[in-house]
Structure 1
């Protein structure tokens, strides 16, 4: 067994979760939590547990397929829990886990920033599109 110094162990640990590295698993997590559907689902669940149909109505434009995939991926990552209540029809509730709740202050700030600065972003887009002679993709 190779002996490493404390400095080498710290450097290795720091490199293990460096999102700038291509193979770092945090890239997948950043990709997941930056997805618009993930952000909207987590924000919708911040108010408490909801049924699938409630989430579907609340999040305009999400397809059944995307909502299902998003909920499954969030459950897999430990951010959302799924509780099945045996009844007729079966009731399924989704809720934030304690880990998922830790994301909410960050998402709330991002949402607030976007709402507060949207006029400035729209003006910048208009200026850019006018200067470059192109429109948004």
Structure 2
């Protein structure tokens, strides 16, 4: 068991949760789960991420020991690979329950949207069909 308690205000584990719980961190880790990728490959693979956000996310993950960058290729470290199982489980949960969450959102915020959300385009770890 750990000596950390995430319920304490000054717990260092909260910082860890912020790093690995960030939306783009999750997506980048999943993208690198099948092997190293170059910056442009990551940018192509991850729809909707800006150059600035990808750069910041890679830097954050590198600083925290989740990935390394060598010869222009970004690779998960052992620590980063240890995240794959829980992150893939979270991504699978998100893919399975996105419709439920969207239904709940519509029920509590019935404001009509001008463009419908295609959940296939926003699923973590998969490509939209089409």
Structures share a fold, TM > 0.5? yes
Distance 2:63 2:75 in 1: 13
Higher relative contact order (CA 8 A, sep 6+): 2
Q: Indicate the structure (1 or 2) with the bigger Cα radius of gyration.
A: 1
Query: 2:107 maps to which residue?
Result: 127
Structure 1: give runs of 5+ residues left out of the alignment. Answer: 1-9, 85-91
Query: 1:32 maps to which residue?
Result: 19
Query: 1:111 maps to which residue?
Result: 91
Distance 2:98 2:54 in 1: 26
CA RMSD of aligned residues (A): 2.0
Query: 1:41 maps to which residue?
Result: 28
Q: Which portions of structure 1, spanning 4 or more consecutive aligned residues, are displaced by more than 3 angstroms?
A: none
TM-score (norm 2): 0.79
Query: 1:89 maps to which residue?
Result: none
Q: How many residues align?
A: 113
TM-score (norm 1): 0.75
